[in-house]
Amino acid sequence: MNPAPPLDNVRIILSHTSHPGNIGAAARAMKTMGLSQLYLVNPKSFPDSEADARASNARDVLEAAHVCTSLEEAIGDTFLAAALTARSRDLPHPTCNARQAATELVRHAHHHPVALLFGRESAGLTSEEISHCQLTVQIPTNPAYSSLNLAAAVQIMAYELRMVLEEAIAAGEADLHLPEPASLHEIEGLHSHLERVMIQSGFLDPTQPRRLMRRMRRLFARTRLEKEEVNILRGLLTAVDPKKSG
């Protein structure tokens, strides 16, 4: 089962790449994870035999690559563009990590083209380039040495994009439609319900509720609950509520 369709809507844009080997390695990284849409904005040398060599059996990705003379040309018709950046910047952009960005991109990619933008090997993206994006993304790295190779950064992002689909498949969401996340309101409703059942069952001392409920909040905050999951959990809480039969 190959979850290709949403990934076909994810465009990898490499801006002003200096080393053609990195373009080839990026193409290979993309293809291993099921991505195929490569856009190159003013590459220093392309096509190039070094790119071909590093692409290995992903030359088809290189051959289909779109070479553009401006970022606008590459990004224009996308509905969400995310900019990879190593540094924190004073920009009015929400910044998220690789995993969060992948979730957001795939969510839109079910319906529209989206873009993930990588800058120069030396200096990354310019502020001007970033200003075309709605989101900035940081890959967590060793603060003492954050110098990710360009193709390695593409590999991590491509992997995270694939993982969004793999996890949906693992959960039996074979139609690849990402489940709808629960709203904050629904999650608050779950916590209130949980607290009530905990108290009624004698599990939680209502005079000392703090620590236990905080732990439950933390657990469910990590998992980013879906709407249907909240419904299941509330159904279960109703079924086991001692008040029900009392």
State the residues that interact with its own copies by CB under 8 A: 1-2, 4, 25, 28-29, 31-34, 56-58, 97-99, 139-149, 151-152, 155-156, 159, 162-163, 166-167, 170-172, 197-198, 201-203, 211-212, 214-216, 218-225, 228-229, 232, 235-236, 239-242, 245
Is 25 or 115 the residue whose CB approaches its own copies more closely? 25
Cα-flanking dihedrals φ and ψ of residue 243, to 5°?
-60, -30
Is 23 or 71 the residue whose CB approaches its own copies more closely? 23
Q: SS3 of 2, please?
A: coil
Residue ranges of alpha helices (H) inside 19-138 are: 20-32, 49-55, 59-63, 71-75, 98-109, 127-130
Closest separation between CB of residue 131 and its own copies, Å? 27
Closest separation between CB of residue 65 and its own copies, Å? 16
Closest separation between CB of residue 212 and its own copies, Å? 7
Is 42 or 149 the residue whose CB approaches its own copies more closely? 149
Closest separation between CB of residue 89 and its own copies, Å? 20
Closest separation between CB of residue 87 and its own copies, Å? 15
Is 56 or 127 the residue whose CB approaches its own copies more closely? 56
In b/e form, how buried is each residue of 222-243, taking b as 16+ CB within 10 angstroms?
A: eeebbeebbeebbeebeeeeee
| Non-local CB neighbours of 6 within 8 Å, separated by 6+ positions | 106, 109, 110, 165, 176
Prior bond of 209 cis (ω within 30°): no
Is 91 or 148 the residue whose CB approaches its own copies more closely? 148
Encoded tokens for 86:
């190593």
Compute the distance between CA of residue 227 and CA of residue 190 in angstroms, rounded to an integer. Answer: 11
Closest separation between CB of residue 101 and its own copies, Å? 13
Compute the distance between CA of residue 219 and CA of residue 14 in angstroms, rounded to an integer. Answer: 38
Is 76 or 94 the residue whose CB approaches its own copies more closely? 94
